[in-house]
Amino acid sequence: MYPDPTICRVGDTYYLATSSFEYFPGAPIFRSDDLTSWTQIGHILTRRSQFRHAEGGPSQGIYGSTLRHHDGRFWFVTTNANEYEAGQLIFSAPDAAGPWSDPVYVPAAVGIDPDLAWDGDRCYLTWKRLSFSEGDLELVQAVIDLSTGEIGPVVQVWQGAGMTAPEGPHLYHVGEYWYLLLAEGGTERGHTVTVARSPHPSGPFEPSPDNPVFTHRSSGHPVQNAGHADLVETTDGDWAAVYLGVRSRGSIPGFHVLGRETFLAGVSWVDGWPVFDETRYQLGPADHAFEDDFSATVLDQRWVVAGGEPSNTVSVRPDGGLEFARAWRVGADLLCVRPRDLRWSAEADAEGDAALVLRIDDRHWYGVVVRDGVGRVEARIGDLDQTRGAVPVDDSVTLRIEAVSPGSLTVPLGHAGPDDIVLAIESSGTRHQLARLDGRYLSSEVASGFTGRMLALGSPSGEGVVRAVRYRPIGD
């Protein structure tokens, strides 16, 4: 779940940030020397003064953004859907690893997907005007004072190639033209990248004759929903693009479970237009395995919380391990980490009342839960709650969840979802498999929204302790 990627280069180093919605810390940021190997260097939003939280459901919070570097400083502009009417938020820092400033608000620019581009000393803010009640409005632009958030007259720019949901504008000055790159078709199966150009940053814009210039729609490509791209000039004078996509699996219509992810393509300029080249970069398999015994006083940056914050959810015990501030009732009571593979195994060593949960939101989750000396599987799918299995267990147990290949064939010979979720518990050296559940019910196609699955730790009473967590990818 690293959607809406935005990228910039400073010298020989590339920086990339993504949206994060309700999860905090927010807006993870990464660094790379070669575009193919990335290291997370932190989060842009690490203080509540930067990311105000309001009561709301999933897929709120931090939306699509733009990361740029200008005049010795990094700039990040984004939308916080929890305070939507406050307009866009602008952050800056001398170092991409932070600390980043508190936001400068742009109250006259209500909408989503803001972009910053400079023409000399003049900075242009381009964004999508949108109302959650009225729907799509228009793509607009204004000159902005970054120190105050004040903007000049608002003008319409190119409204896209005629597809639904034109959004995600990014403006670039390449050669003699200004290029306006858009996402169109919605962030679902019809997602595309389109482009237009003009001698002036505000247009009028001439659309590419080859629009959409990039898409996977109506194809059998294993990555679907491709779009929302951002371009960067490479150190050798070539160009590249990062974009979001999903890996759907299982029976029709296909189910994606890891949320929207970030992908990489090369870009060539042909007759003055960008042409995407998906074969330019070769990425080998990544090893996302990790172990965490919570012996450090500070949590690893992989851990986040939905609608809350780690420091209010858990604390690290002096002898190692996590204890919980309160009983698990909602997402803010759970400490979460992204599973980053299609097939994986995770386990948590726990004492007392504890839970290992696979969730998309508060209405879609499966969990292995120990309560009062009994281990069981608890599941919620929409308005339906179910309990499976019940075994007496010791005070110290290992909770396990695995995402494995489905046991059924796909339609019409079966009903396979993207995977099966195996939930088990080990006590006194004996492993008890408590349930094997259909993974499609923990997919974005069922739960809806812009996020994906999270592995989560919690306690049904607030009295449990998690000593260690282990995660590893597994083969089919």
Does residue 233 have a pLDDT over 70?
yes
22 in active site:
no
Task: Grade residue 149 by pLDDT with cuts at 50, 70 and 90.
Answer: very high
Contacting residues for 274 by C-beta, under 8 A, at least 6 apart: 179, 181, 195, 213, 231, 239, 241, 267, 268
pLDDT for the residue 132? 77
Does residue 54 have a pLDDT over 90?
no
pLDDT for the residue 55? 67
Contact 306, 334 (CB under 8 A): yes
Contact 268, 239 (CB under 8 A): yes
Strands 396-404 and 13-17: unpaired
pLDDT for the residue 56? 65
167 in active site:
yes
The region of weakest confidence among 47-61, 78-92, 153-167 is 47-61
Paired tokens of 404: 């494995």
| pLDDT 10s digits, 320-340 | 899 999 999 999 999 999 999
The region of weakest confidence among 46-55, 59-68, 209-218 is 46-55
The region of weakest confidence among 124-133, 233-242, 432-441 is 124-133
pLDDT for the residue 476? 63
290-473 domain in CATH 3.40.710.10?
no
pLDDT for the residue 475? 78
State mean pLDDT over 146-172: 97
Does residue 160 have a pLDDT over 80?
yes
pLDDT for the residue 286? 87
Paired tokens of 173: 């000055």
Task: Grade residue 274 by pLDDT with cuts at 50, 70 and 90.
Answer: very high
Question: Could you tell me the residue ranges of all domains in the chain?
Answer: 6-277, 290-473
pLDDT for the residue 136? 75
Question: Choosing from 113, 115, 167, 438, which is the catalytic residue?
Answer: 167
Does residue 66 have a pLDDT over 80?
yes
CATH of 6-277, one of 2.115.10.20, 1.10.10.10, 3.90.1150.10, 3.40.50.150: 2.115.10.20
State mean pLDDT over 229-234: 98
State mean pLDDT over 452-461: 98
DSSP string, 420-473: EEEEEEEETTEEEEEEEEEGGGGSHHHH-SS---EEEEE-SSS--EEEEEEEEE
Does residue 375 have a pLDDT over 70?
yes
275 CB neighbour count, 10 Å cutoff: 16
In degrees, to the nearest 5, what angle opens at C-alpha 232 toward C-alphas 228 and 236?
A: 150
State mean pLDDT over 210-219: 97
Does residue 169 have a pLDDT over 90?
yes
Question: Choosing from 4, 113, 230, 349, which is the catalytic residue?
Answer: 4
| pLDDT 10s digits, 9-24 | 999 999 999 999 999 9
Paired tokens of 27: 């807006």
